Amino acid sequence: MNWTDEEIKAGIEHCFEGAEDIFLVDATMTASRGGFQLIAKCDSDSGITIDQLARINRSIHNNLLLPGLDIEKVSVEVTSPGASFPVKMARHFNRLAGHSMKIEHRSDAMQNPLEGEIVSASNESLTVKVNEDVIVLDMVDVIHGKVNIRW
């Protein structure tokens, strides 16, 4: 069976009801030997713990709704995105306020990628401090951002 990414996410979303401020970032399902491998990336506005990831894992395993899917043939892995994971959601950008990021975007009005410190984000816009300038991008123009890791 083949499900779209939207169908997979919709089948998982209800598993987060009552799970504090935890939200689904991304989910993928691939065929594996005799079944499927589901990987769900979750996060929280205040950071996520291993206990919270375990609770979400159990909830997905017990409540996943996809037409024609035998849950006994699904291996569920729930994880939080790492520092190299591309950030796409305003909620994630907000959590990373104060961090330096490289942001890929579709705006012709400024350099691409844009490198700067995240100031704030909403569903409509992303505010970034680049040197001494404050730049506002429309969220619809943001492709993704990656945290600049300094060693």
pLDDT at residue number 1: 62
pLDDT at residue number 100: 92
Residue 140 tokens read as: 């619809």
- 46 in Cβ contact with 21 (< 8 Å): yes
pLDDT at residue number 83: 67
Is pTM beyond 0.75? Reply is no
**d(C-alpha 3, C-alpha 91), whole Å:** 26
**All domains in the chain, ordered by first residue:** 5-79 (3.30.300.70), 90-147 (2.30.30.100)
pLDDT at residue number 109: 86
pLDDT at residue number 3: 81
- 90 in Cβ contact with 144 (< 8 Å): no
- Omega before 113 within 30 of 0, i.e. cis: yes
Q: Is 56 helix (H, G, I), strand (E, B) or coil?
A: helix
pLDDT in 10s for each residue of the chain, 151 residues: 678 878 888 888 888 777 778 888 888 888 888 888 888 888 887 778 888 889 889 888 888 888 888 878 888 899 887 767 788 888 888 888 898 999 999 998 888 899 999 999 999 999 999 999 999 999 999 999 998 877 6
The number of angstroms, rounded, from the C-alpha of 138 to the middle of its chain's C-alpha atoms is: 19
Residue 102 tokens read as: 């490289």
pLDDT at residue number 34: 81
Beta carbons within 8 Å of 99's beta carbon, 6+ residues apart = 117, 118, 147, 148
**d(C-alpha 143, C-alpha 89), whole Å:** 10
**d(C-alpha 106, C-alpha 143), whole Å:** 7
pLDDT at residue number 151: 65
